[in-house]
Structure 1
Amino acid sequence: MSAKYREIAEDLRRRINAGEWVPGTTLPGYTGLTAEYEVGRGVIGDALAELEAEGLISVVKRRGIIVRERGSRRRVQRGAVVVRDPARGYVMPAAAAPDEPWQVHGRPRREVLPITERAAELLGLGPGTPVLRRRRVTSPTGEPPFQLVDTWIHPRGVTDAPQVGERDTGPGGYLDRLEDAGHGPISWIEYTRVRMPLPEEARHLEMPTAMPIFEIARVGTSARTEMPIEVTICVIPGDRAEMVSPLRRARSAQWPRDAT
């Protein structure tokens, strides 16, 4: 493959970083770029694909080549401790610093939908089963969307605690309602993996489909049934976070080392 596309990508990258096109604005279309750089459409496409994979731009059908809003990269420490706030209820390990203000993008949604394959696997249901989903898109205040969060609540939980399907779930949120209905204490386990985003996820997070995402899935298990009662899947663009895991020494690795 010709290296020409790399030269064009580097020039466009330089011009974007220099502020020639600010976030939210569009670059010239394919016709303008092919004329400016005197190359074919395929070369321009390869250059744009490189910039899209880096998260600099998004190529959106009918909207054009858009310079992405770039929030700060955050270090996400996935600890193992769940704490409780008197006002908010349970607080899970998250990217937010204590008392840091976050905002919701758009309106939170709650609706019964066919459950996705991944959520069904974790919740112990058949794919496509109608399940209550609570969805929100959030970020630190003033930044572009950081995470898409979907909570799927088992039909058994909705039957036992109907308030989990309402907009106002009361003090402590839906988790308190599930525990009050006899499923407490809920215990949790998290699964983290990297994958490519679905088109819908990329649209909500204003990110290119060519960029990987972090998927953090938290499964809550009922103490009464010893089966999953809710699963929350959080999706974060790959350029917005890095995962941090402190390492601890076992007794065999203590220092000072034994003289033997």
Structure 2
Amino acid sequence: MPRYEDVAADLRQRIHDGQYEIGGTLPRYEELTATYGVGRGVISSAIAVLEREGLVRPVKRAGLQVLDWRRERRRIARGQLVTRDPVRGYVFPAASRADEPWQVHGRPSRSYEPAPARVAELLSVDAGIPLLRRRRVTSPENESPFQLVDTWISPEGVRDAPQVAEISTGPGGYIDRLEEAGHGPISWHEYTRVRMPEREESQLLEISSELPVLELALSGVSAKTDRTIEVTIRVIPSDRVELVSELRRAKSAAWPTTPVQA
């Protein structure tokens, strides 16, 4: 076993045993190099392993913070059914149950920001042009940030439904406003991928930049123009979730099987 993996294994065990408490910090690099009798490079590699596992994250002026490793992964059943709530409007497949209370961390914001490459690709616009972004960080009650949700609305959508740029978009939310403005019924495609987080994302989600994230991108297509009018990007730390799908048999896979004739 490489020395850095040996150090990582020992630190991991100490964290699990409670020697380093959740919310506390690991000893500083100088202490760790002295404790294990290795150079700074070995410690850096060991810490990187723990960061990728979601056990620690560097916090400016505080050190290496120990994260809550005891949480269970939430299972997300990625169905294809979009439902509707009389108050909230459209409800998409999510990690929450209908009766589960969630909270918002900080204040939801809306601002015009340069379009990231992924958003520009889905909206078919030039990367970097200013677009309306609605942002919120949410989680189940009394838990650390679970997901970062950014909704990007095309200039055409803002022009046709100006209320989508306001703090309160009214009953049913921004999608109802877009559909009322002539873009309904909106249809959606969902794209799933795993990637490394941007620096701002890792800060808002309170995770290490070494921990991969799950990105769920939902693009809404206008029935009026047949073009994508809004894109919602959900970013979730990879140590929080697992995707679940039910597999069904086609007729060709029916049982008992039909014997093959010689």
Same topology, TM > 0.5: yes
Counterpart of 2:132, as a letter, is L
Counterpart of 2:16, as a letter, is N
Q: What does residue 194 of structure 2 align with? A: 194
Q: What does residue 72 of structure 2 align with? A: 72
**Normalised TM-score (structure 1):** 0.96
C-alpha separation between the residues in 2 aligned to 1:151 and 1:187? 16
After superposition, give the CA deviation of every residue in 1:205-227 in whole Å (9 maximum; x if it has no partner).
11111111111100000001111
When structure 1 is superposed on structure 2, of 72-81 and 219-228 the one drifting more is 72-81
When structure 1 is superposed on structure 2, of 172-181 and 53-62 the one drifting more is 53-62
Sequence identity of aligned pairs in percent?
Answer: 60
Q: What does residue 40 of structure 1 align with? A: 39
C-alpha separation between the residues in 1 aligned to 2:15 and 2:40? 20
Deviation at residue 59 of structure 1 after TM alignment: 2.3
Deviation at residue 194 of structure 1 after TM alignment: 0.9
Tell me, which stretches of 5 or more residues in structure 2 are unaligned? none
C-alpha separation between the residues in 2 aligned to 1:197 and 1:95? 20
Counterpart of 1:146, as a letter, is F
C-alpha separation between the residues in 1 aligned to 2:110 and 2:255? 52
Deviation at residue 61 of structure 1 after TM alignment: 3.8
Q: What does residue 172 of structure 2 align with? A: 172
**Normalised TM-score (structure 2):** 0.95
C-alpha separation between the residues in 2 aligned to 1:84 and 1:256? 40
C-alpha separation between the residues in 1 aligned to 2:219 and 2:152? 10
- The number of residue pairs the alignment matches comes to 259
Q: Does 1:129 align with 2:129?
A: yes
Q: Does 1:7 align with 2:6?
A: yes
C-alpha separation between the residues in 2 aligned to 1:170 and 1:119? 25
Q: What does residue 104 of structure 2 align with? A: 104
When structure 1 is superposed on structure 2, of 249-258 and 233-242 the one drifting more is 249-258
Deviation at residue 147 of structure 1 after TM alignment: 0.7
When structure 1 is superposed on structure 2, of 129-138 and 52-61 the one drifting more is 52-61
C-alpha separation between the residues in 2 aligned to 1:43 and 1:193? 31
C-alpha separation between the residues in 2 aligned to 1:72 and 1:208? 18
Deviation at residue 199 of structure 1 after TM alignment: 0.8
After superposition, give the CA deviation of every residue in 1:159-200 in whole Å (9 maximum; x if it has no partner).
111111111110000000000111000000001011111111
When structure 1 is superposed on structure 2, of 28-37 and 80-89 the one drifting more is 28-37
Deviation at residue 72 of structure 1 after TM alignment: 2.7
Counterpart of 1:160, as a letter, is D
Q: Does 1:240 align with 2:240?
A: yes
Query: Which SS does the other structure have where 2:108 is aligned?
Result: strand
Query: Which SS does the other structure have where 2:178 is aligned?
Result: helix
Q: What does residue 222 of structure 1 align with? A: 222
C-alpha separation between the residues in 1 aligned to 2:219 and 2:66? 36
C-alpha separation between the residues in 2 aligned to 1:143 and 1:243? 20
Counterpart of 2:215, as a letter, is E
Q: What does residue 62 of structure 1 align with? A: 61
After superposition, give the CA deviation of every residue in 1:47-99 in whole Å (9 maximum; x if it has no partner).
11111111111123432111013443111111100000111100001111121
